Chain A
C-alpha cells in the first residue's frame, strides 16, 4: 500500500511541475495566476499548507524512527506525519482537555502532561494528530476523485459536443438519466450497493460528479464547434483530433478549472453527510464530527474534538471557495462582477 501511495505522490508532483511550467510559459495563464495570488494570498497559502501536510501524510515507509517497541506498528508503513506524532505512544487513557496536566474524568496524571494541544478523544488519541490526518482524506475525496473523473468526462463531453449526432444523443441521454437522480440519493445508493469503504465512496463521488464536468464540456464544445477559428482550422485540413487537442481543449480549460474548484468543496461537504449516515470514509473530518456530535451534551462539555475537525474542514472549504470565487472573476469574463 505504501509503495503505491508513494508512487502516486511522485507522479502527482511530476505532473504538477510539468503543468506549472507549461502554464508559466503561457502569458494568459501566468497573468491569471499572478492576479489570483494578488487577490487571494491567504487562501492560496492555506491551501498550500494543506497540500503540503497531505503530501507529508502520503509518503511513508516501514521501520525506523521510533515505534519499534510496538511489534505491529514496526511492521506497518508509517508516514511522515505518523513519525512526527508517534501515535502509538502519544496517547492517554481517555479524554483530556487541551494542554491539561491531568485526565478529564478522574484527574489522574497524564502520560504527556501539557503536550496535547487540542486534548485527546474518548480513546485517548491526540486530536491535533487526527485532524491533520483528516487533511489527506479530504484532499483525496475532493481532489483526487476529480482528477480521475475530469479526463473521462472531457473525453465524453467533448466528443459528444464535437461529433454530435448519435454520440451526442447517447452521451446526453446518459447525462440526463444520471442528473435526474438527486445527487445525495444517488450517492447513498451507490455506496450502499458497492459496500462501505474509501475506494467505494470515491467511485460513487466520481460517478455523481462526472455529469457536471461532462455537461460543461459538451455545452462549450457545441459553441466552439461553430467558432470561426475552428472553421478556419477545418478549412486548412487540420484533423479532428488535432482541432480538439489544440483549439477546443485549451478554450474550455478555464471552465473546467472553475468547475473543479467548485466541485471540490461540494465533494468534501457531501462526505460529511455520508459519514453521519455511517457510510463515509475512514479517518475523515466528517467521521470525527459524527463521533463528536454527542460530546457537547456531556458535563463538563467536551468541545475540542468537534473544534479540531470543524476548523480543519472550514479552513479548507473556505480557502477553496475563496480561490474559486476569485478564479471565476479573473478567467471567466461573462460572470465578471459589476465595476471590476
Chain B
C-alpha cells in the first residue's frame, strides 16, 4: 500500500508541475508580459510608467535565463519568470491582481464563503434529489413513467444553462416575486433568501443529466445476480431497491461525484455572476472582463489542484477497497 501511495502522490505532483508548465506557456509566452502590461496601463502610457508597472508586478525578469548574472551564478536560472512562477504558485503566494493591485489571496479568502454557501447546498441537494428521482425512475423501468422521465431528461439536458438562469430570474424573481432576483448578504437568514433562487435554478439545470446517469447505474445493478438472490430469499421490491441496489450503486455514483467537486467550483461561475453573489465565480468573471491575468492564472491553478487532489483521493479509496489496483 505504501508503495502505491508514494507512486500515486508522485504522479500527482508531476501532474501539478505539468499544469504549471502549461500555465507558464499560456500566460508568459502565448500572451507575453508586454501584452499584459500594455493592457493594464494602456497603449499610450509613457515608457517609464510601463517599465514601473512591469517591475511592480514582477514581470520585468527574463523568461528562462537571466543573462545579467554570470554563468556560475545560481541566480542566472532562479531570477527568472519561469522559476518565480513555480516558486510562487507552489508556495501559494499569488501576489497582486493585475487589474487593481489588490491581494489575490485576500480576495480568494473573501470569496470562499459566499461560493461555498452556494455550491455545497447545490451539491448536497442536487445529489440527494437526483438519486431519489433516479431510484424512482429505475423502480418503474420499462414502463411509461420511465419512458416519459427519459424524454424529460433529454429535453432538460438540451437547454443552455444561460436560459435556465434567465428564465428562472424572470419567472420566479420578476413575475412571481418569491425571491429577490439577485444579491447577497452575510447574515444566514438573509443569505438563505438570496440563495434560494440560484440554488433552485442550479439544481433544475443539472437534474436531467444526473437522473439519466444514476438511472443507468441503478438499472445495471438491478440486473446483477445478488438482486435475484435477494428476491429469491423473499425481500420485497422496496427493500431490494433501498437496501441492496442503492447501497451497491453508491460506489459508482460516488466516483462520478468526486470528479465533479472541482467543477462545482467553476460551475458556479454563471450562477454567481448572474445572481450577484460575491464568490470565486464572480471573481473569475471580473478577471475576464478586467484582463486580470494574474487572478485568472491563480483560479486555473487552484481548479486544477482541487481536481488532482480529488482524483488522488478517489484512487486511494479504490486501492483500499480493491487490492488488485495496488498491485498493477
Contact = CB atoms under 8 A, between A and B. Distances in A.
B174 interface: yes
Given A176-B18, A182-B262, A188 B223 contact: no
A335 B217 CA distance: 11
Interface residues of A, number: 45
Given A185-B300, A193-B30, A289-B163, A296 B170 contact: yes
Given A182-B263, A184-B266, A338-B141, A278 B288 contact: yes
Interface string A318-338: 100110010000000001011
Contacts of B170: 296-297
A279 interface: yes
B300 to A, nearest CB: 5
Interface in B24-47: 26-27, 30-31
A246 interface: no
B299 interface: yes
A318 B166 contact: no
A184 B269 contact: yes
Interface of B: 11, 14-15, 18-19, 21-23, 26-27, 30-31, 141-142, 154-155, 157-163, 166, 170, 174, 216, 219, 223, 262-263, 265-267, 269-270, 284-285, 288-289, 291, 293, 296-297, 299-300, 303-304, 307-308, 311
A133 B304 CA distance: 37
A325 B212 CA distance: 11
Contacts of B155: 318
Interface in A96-121: none
Nearest to A296: B170
Contact of B162 (A181, A279, A289, A296): A289
A272 B165 CA distance: 12
A273 interface: yes
Given A189-B300, A289-B166, A296-B170, A272 B161 contact: yes
B296 A182 contact: no
A286 B19 CA distance: 30
A300 interface: no
A239 to B, nearest CB: 31
Contacts of B161: 269, 272-273
Nearest to B30: A193
Nearest to A319: B158
Interface stretch (A6-14, A28-36, A71-79, A309-317): A309-317
Nearest to B301: A181
A290 B163 CA distance: 10
Contacts of B26: 189-190, 193
Contacts of A184: 263, 266-267, 269
A176 B270 contact: no
Nearest to A337: B219
A194 interface: yes
Contact of B288 (A180, A186, A192, A322): A192
Given A173-B18, A297-B170, 20 more contacts: A176-B18, A181-B22, A182-B303, A185-B300, A185-B303, A189-B296, A189-B297, A189-B300, A193-B26, A194-B31, A272-B161, A273-B270, A289-B166, A290-B162, A296-B170, A310-B160, A317-B160, A335-B216, A338-B142, A338-B219
A338 B285 CA distance: 44
A277 B14 contact: no
A337 B311 CA distance: 29
Contacts of A195: 31
Contacts of B293: 192-193
B31 A193 contact: yes
A19 B160 CA distance: 32
B160 A185 contact: no
A289 B159 CA distance: 12
A131 to B, nearest CB: 14
A188 B23 CA distance: 12
A328 to B, nearest CB: 11
Contacts of B311: 180
A325 B154 contact: yes
Contact of B166 (A192, A269, A296): A296
B114 to A, nearest CB: 19
